Amino acid sequence: MKTILYITSSVRSFKEEETQHQSITRLLGERFLEQFRSRYHDVEIIHRNLSIDPPSFLTQEFIAAAFEKAELTPEQKAVLKMSDQYIEEIKQANIIVIASPMYNYGMPAVLKAWFDKVIRVNKTFSFDLARGDEPLEPILSGKSLVLLASWGEFNFRKGENKYHLNHLSSHIEQLAPYLGAEQFFEIASEYQEFSDDRHRASKLSALTQVKELANNLASI
């Protein structure tokens, strides 16, 4: 059996029967899951819809509980409960699919809040000054991370002239090892704000790539 953790973060919804104002990242996500399921039947999907059920922001109490070395109090356990749950979902996953829009050149706040709750000392990374200037080390391993992105402008891909403005892809790729991801894949649809032929072509191309990637990951 394979488990896919599916993280969605767009404020837009996606419904098969509607044509207006639909989330492109959710469309890409749905098509990925559909294709994967058609190739690999024994799959469990854990869906975290962060825009419907957003993680709370970090607090002083959370940090104190996360770094606590003594036995946790019932209050501290309660503060860490959702973080524990999110981390458990990551541990179970073979593949993590993050469907994320670009908002203000980065990831949506709800997704950043989720990362802040799952990148946690002695859970997803260890910290040891004996390692010198590189004290952090990921704990989890063996997973693949798929980022399904969409943005309104264009040329934000690696090697293109506006990649340096894209703080969504580079940020998630940098965090990937802390989710245990040893492989990082990205598929993006561009030009959403232009609603023109370039947008239609880009979306179609993204959908084709999604299908291919789902087939490849289902055959491993």
Ligand X SMILES: Cc1cc2nc3c(=O)[nH]c(=O)nc-3n(C[C@H](O)[C@H](O)[C@H](O)COP(=O)(O)O)c2cc1C
User: Where along the sequence are the contacts to ligand X (CB under 6 A)?
Assistant: 10, 12, 23-26, 101-105, 150-153, 192-193
Closest separation between CB of residue 30 and ligand X, Å? 11
| Binding residue numbers | 10
DSSP per position, 18-64: --SS--HHHHHHHHHHHHHHHH--SEEEEEEETTTSPPPPP-HHHHH
Q: Which is nearer to ligand X, 79 or 102 (CB)?
A: 102
Q: Which is nearer to ligand X, 40 or 103 (CB)?
A: 103
Closest separation between CB of residue 157 and ligand X, Å? 12
**Cβ atoms < 10 Å from Cβ of 85:** 12
CB 35 within 8 A of CB 206: no
Q: Which is nearer to ligand X, 156 or 178 (CB)?
A: 156
Q: Which is nearer to ligand X, 20 or 60 (CB)?
A: 20
The two tokens of residue 39 are: 């190739």
Taking CB atoms, the residue at the shortest distance from ligand X is: 101
| Binding residue numbers for FMN | 10
CB 207 within 8 A of CB 31: yes
CA distance 147 to 168: 10
Closest separation between CB of residue 13 and ligand X, Å? 9
Closest separation between CB of residue 191 and ligand X, Å? 9
